[in-house]
Amino acid sequence: MKLNGRSGRTIWFDDNKKHTIYTYDQRKFPHKTEVYEIKDSETAAKAIEKMVVRGAPLIGITAAFGVYLACFETQGDQTFTYVQERINRLRQTRPTAVNLFWALNEQEKVLLENKDLGHYELADLLFDNAVRMMKEDEAACKAIGEYGLSIIEELAATKEDGEPVHILTHCNAGWLACIDWGTATSPIYQAHEKGINVHVWVDETRPRNQGANLTAFELQQQGVPHHLITDNAGGLLMRNGMVDLVIVGADRVSRNGDVANKIGTYLKALAANDNHIPFYVALPSSTIDTAIASGDEIKIENRSDKEVKYVYGKNKAGAMDKVLICPEETPGYNPGFDITPAHLISGLITENGIKTASEEGVSQCFMSVEL
């Protein structure tokens, strides 16, 4: 199955076969496009844990459909209790992206409001709620692009003829992390589609290489000029005037505007700040956690040290392989995210406009009023 760019949503279903949810196995990109079938809530949970699906918005919507599928895993009057248990199981998959908990809370509200429904009626309500959230996320990412486009247009106006706007991004906050469009990539796609000359520096993003495997794959498919760089090259490029703008995604934003995102984001923010380069974070309001005051309260996921000790990729025989890059006995330490403090952030690009990374700005992220 050949993927042709943003050729639809990253998660879908067959109207005639609704007990199966389809997505891509993102561990196989860029070498293979493999559809992954999710037929029950445990498959949904494991797909999130193993990063078959990843990216804050997509994790949330996958979990929401997982709750729907749970309705078919029990009979009779145990539905409410069982579905509640499956919601709690899905909550244990990955701790940092708040979209997971937002989507599960939304499904839990439906469950609690309909305790006495039979599992088919409850399933219909949970399915419709998951589809609603999916469509809202898709629309939010499109709107993020429209607001973020204004930033790129302003920079393009300062460029000599033919000189592109150079944008650095980290990890994958692309359409593969969302339902469509992406968050950080949405302004890039919309600028490119508008004929604005853009070029993207793609951080490879060790250890899982989401930049190399996913963002480079997306941009290549969409025909957006880009170069893959090591995570450590961004500082030099910024110091040498080769970066006009940094846009990254987010997994959780606290009330004061601190941002949790893929490990390495903070270092890019420091370098951007030191070189007076605008550093924006693109996110739907479903990524904001108003329950926490600052980034210090955000739980950082620690993943297996095998991701640090091995490099995963396709060997010459075409099979996915992994190579040990250190002594076997060397222990690794693998925090998956870091915290960028609000004072390093130029602005939050949301579906409700571009807001400041501050208490006031975050509170406005839920309002569609232009300020």
Ligand X SMILES: CSC[C@H]1O[C@H](OP(=O)(O)O)[C@H](O)[C@@H]1O
Q: Which residues fall in the annotated binding site?
A: 54-56, 94, 210, 261-262
Q: What are phi and psi of 174, to 5 degrees?
A: -100, -165
Binding-site size, ligand X (CB under 6 A): 16
Q: Does 23 bind ligand X (CB under 6 A)?
A: no
- Closest CB to ligand X among residues 178, 191: 178
| Helix (H) / strand (E) containing 239 | helix 234-239
Please, are residues 340 and 269 in contact by the beta-carbon 8 Å criterion?
A: yes
Instruction: Give the span between the Cα atoms of 99 and 24, in whole angstroms.
Output: 19
Compose the 147-186 pattern: x for residues touching ligand X by CB under 6 A, - for all others. ------------------------x-x---xx----x---
Q: Does 6 bind ligand X (CB under 6 A)?
A: no
- Token pair for residue 265? 């984001």
Q: What are phi and psi of 353, to 5 degrees?
A: 115, 180
Residues annotated within a binding site for substrate:
54-56, 94, 210, 261-262
Instruction: Give the span between the Cα atoms of 155 and 150, in whole angstroms.
Output: 9
- Closest CB to ligand X among residues 13, 29: 29
DSSP string, 253-280: E-TT--EEEETTHHHHHHHHHHTT--EE
- 77 flagged as catalytic: no
Q: Does 295 bind ligand X (CB under 6 A)?
A: no
- Which position among 203, 251, 289, 338 bears the catalytic label? 251
Which residue's C-beta sits nearest to ligand X? Answer: 249
DSSP secondary-structure letter at 176?
G
To the nearest whole angstrom, how small is the minimum distance from the Cβ of residue 203 to ligand X?
10
Q: Does 257 bind ligand X (CB under 6 A)?
A: no
- Closest CB to ligand X among residues 198, 281: 281
Instruction: Give the span between the Cα atoms of 248 and 269, in whole angstroms.
Output: 10
Positions 201 through 220 that interact with ligand X (CB under 6 A): 210
To the nearest whole angstrom, how small is the minimum distance from the Cβ of residue 318 to ligand X?
25
The Cα-based distances of 148 to 58, 145, 248, 283 in angstroms read: 21, 5, 12, 11
Instruction: Give the span between the Cα atoms of 27 and 55, in whole angstroms.
Output: 13
Instruction: Identify the residue among 44, 47, 52, 57 touching ligand X (CB under 6 A).
Output: 57
To the nearest whole angstrom, how small is the minimum distance from the Cβ of residue 80 to ligand X?
31
Contact positions vs ligand X (CB under 6 A): 54-57, 171, 173, 177-178, 183, 210, 248-249, 251, 261-262, 336
Catalytic residues: 251
